[in-house]
Copies of this chain bind each other. A is one copy, B any other.
Amino acid sequence: MTDISPVLARLDADLDASVARLADLVKIPSISTDSDYDADCRRAAEWLVADLKTIGFDASVRDTEGHPMVVAHHEGPAGENVPHVLFYGHYDVQPVDPLDLWDADPFEAKVIERDGVKVITGRGSADDKGQLMTFVEACRAYKAVHGALPCKVSILFEGEEESGSPSLKPFLDANADELKADFALVCDTGMWDAETPAISVALRGLVGEEITVKAADFDLHSGHYGGAAANPIRVLAKILADIHDETGRVTIPAFYDGVEEVPTQILESWKGLGLTAESFLGPIGLSEPSGEQGRDVLELIWSRPTAEFNGIQGGYTGKGFKTVIAAQASAKVSFRLVGKQDPFAIRENFRKFVEERLPSDCSVEFHPHGGSGAIQLSYDAPFLVKAQTALTDEWEKPAVMIAMGGSIPIVGDFQSMLGMESLLVGFGLDDDRIHSPNEKYNLTSFAKGQRSWARILDALAKG
C-alpha cells in the first residue's frame, strides 16, 4: 500500500519541467494526414519511446503499413496482485491550416493567459499530446517516489487517429496477446466543465448509408417531361420524410430493438448537471430540441438513437435556375446507435424501407459507411467506481458519469478484438479548439490531469 501524497507533491514541483517536455513533443509536427510529415510522425514516436524508457518502460517503435505505433510495458509492484491496464493515446495531430488564423506558431507550446485563464498553446496541446502526457507524467512521478508503478501498465500510442486509424485493427489483431490487459484507460475525452471531472460511460455507435435514387437515363427538360417523368428528388424527399414520425421517432421497422431506457437515477444525475435546451442549443443559434418529443437534451444526445441526413444533392444546384428533372439524387444518411442496437440489422432494415418506397420506375444504389454498435459500460463496474472516487477527491467536486453523442472507434475495437472494457477519462474542455486554429489545453487540465491519473492508478491497485 503506497501513499499518494508525495506523488502529488512531486507532480506539483515538477510542473514546469512537464510543460517543457510537452513543448518538446508539440514541437514535432506529427500531422498524420499529410505525407510531407511522415518523418515527423516517426520522430514523435521515437521521442515518446525515449521518454518512456527514462521512466523504466520497456518501450519500442513498432512499424505498421502506415505510421508506427508506440508500445511500452512496465511491471507492477513485485508480488502484489494488481490489475494490468493498457493506456491508449495518439501522438498524431490535425493539420494547422489556415495558418493565418493562429495567433502564434502552432508548434510552439507556451503557457500564456487567455481570457484570464492559464493555457498551454499549440497544435496537439490538448488533442492528444497534452492528454497522453498527463498519464506519462503520473507514471514518472509515481516511479520516482515509490520506485515502482502501482499497477502493471502497458501503453499503446498510435499515430493515425486523425486519419482514420487504418493500421489499428491489423495491429491489435497481430498483437492481441501482448496488448490484452484487464481493461483499457483512454484519455481522449473531456471534463463536464472546467471544474467538474467526468467519466464517459456510453458512446453512441454509428452506421451510415449513402443512397442514390435513379430515374430517367439522363437529365430531362421539366417543360417537356414535367408531370410525366419520375423526379428522383421528389422520390428521395418522400423517403427521407418518411423516416421520422410526427413525434420525432424513427419509423424504420425494428429500429428501437436493443434500445433501453436510462435508469431513473442516472437521468436524475444528468438533470442535476443543469444543462438546458437553451444553454446547449443557444450558442449554436437554436432553441428547441428537435429529436423525440418529451425528452431532455442530454437524454437525446447521450442515450437516444437518431437518423440524421448529413448531405443531399440532386439536379441543378448552381446559381439561378435550370428547369431540369434530374436523372438521380443522393443523400447521406447516418444513424447514431445506443444500447444493443445492431448496426447491420439497421442497415438491412433501412435498405428494405427505402426499396419499399421506390416507384417501379426508379432504382436505388446503396453505399455503406461504417457500422459500429454503441458502447455502454455498466454504471457499477468496480474500476469505474474507483476512478470516480479518485477524480472526486482530486477535483473536490463529484465526478459525473456522462455519455457521449459521438463514437470513439478504439473503444469498440478493444471490446470486440481484445475483450477489454475501457475507462474513458480526459481533461479536455469544449473550448479547447481541437482541430481548429489556436488549440490550447488549460494548465489546470494538464496539472490536475496528471494528479488525477496518479490517484486513479493508486485507487485501481487497491482491493
Contacts and interface: CB of A to CB of B under 8 A. Distances in A.
Nearest to A327: B285
A206 B224 CA distance: 12
Contacts of A369: 320-321
Interface string A427-441: 000000000000000
Interface string A341-361: 000000000000000000111
A293 to B, nearest CB: 12
A54 interface: no
A300 interface: yes
B300 A326 contact: no
25 contacts: A204-B223, A215-B285, A217-B284, A218-B284, A222-B306, A222-B406, A223-B404, A224-B301, A227-B292, A227-B301, A228-B289, A229-B284, A231-B309, A233-B312, A237-B238, A237-B240, A241-B242, A288-B360, A308-B325, A311-B314, A312-B313, A312-B317, A312-B329, A313-B313, A321-B334
A286 interface: yes
Nearest to A304: B227
Contacts of A317: 311-313, 330, 332
Given A233-B312, A310-B316, A314-B312, A227 B322 contact: no
Interface string A271-303: 000000100110011111111100001001100
A259 to B, nearest CB: 12
Given A228-B280, A301-B224, A311-B315, A370 B216 contact: no
B226 A405 contact: yes
A376 to B, nearest CB: 16
A269 interface: no
B284 A216 contact: yes
Nearest to A248: B227
A225 interface: yes
Interface of A: 204, 206, 208, 210, 215-218, 220-231, 233-234, 236-238, 240-242, 244, 277, 280-281, 284-292, 297, 300-301, 304-306, 308-317, 320-326, 329-332, 334, 336, 359-361, 369-370, 404-407
Given A288-B360, A323-B334, A361-B287, A308 B226 contact: yes
Contact of A288 (B230, B280, B289, B336): B230
Given A241-B241, A321-B332, A223 B311 contact: no
A225 B284 contact: yes
A416 to B, nearest CB: 20
Contacts of A406: 221-224, 323
Contacts of A290: 227-231, 234, 359, 361
A228 B321 contact: no
A228 B324 CA distance: 35
Contacts of A215: 285-286
B288 A361 contact: yes
Contact of A228 (B229, B237, B297): B297
Nearest to A305: B227
Most central of A206, A230, A308, A361 by chain B CB within 10 Å: A308
A225 B288 contact: no
A407 B323 CA distance: 11
Contacts of A308: 222, 226, 231, 234, 323, 325
Contacts of A217: 284-285
A232 B331 CA distance: 13
Contacts of A285: 215-217
Contacts of A277: 228
A315 to B, nearest CB: 4
Nearest to A314: B312
Contacts of A289: 227-228
Nearest to A370: B321
A458 B44 CA distance: 92
Given A222-B406, A234-B240, 9 more contacts: A218-B284, A223-B406, A225-B405, A227-B300, A227-B305, A227-B336, A238-B241, A312-B317, A317-B332
Nearest to A407: B223
A406 to B, nearest CB: 2
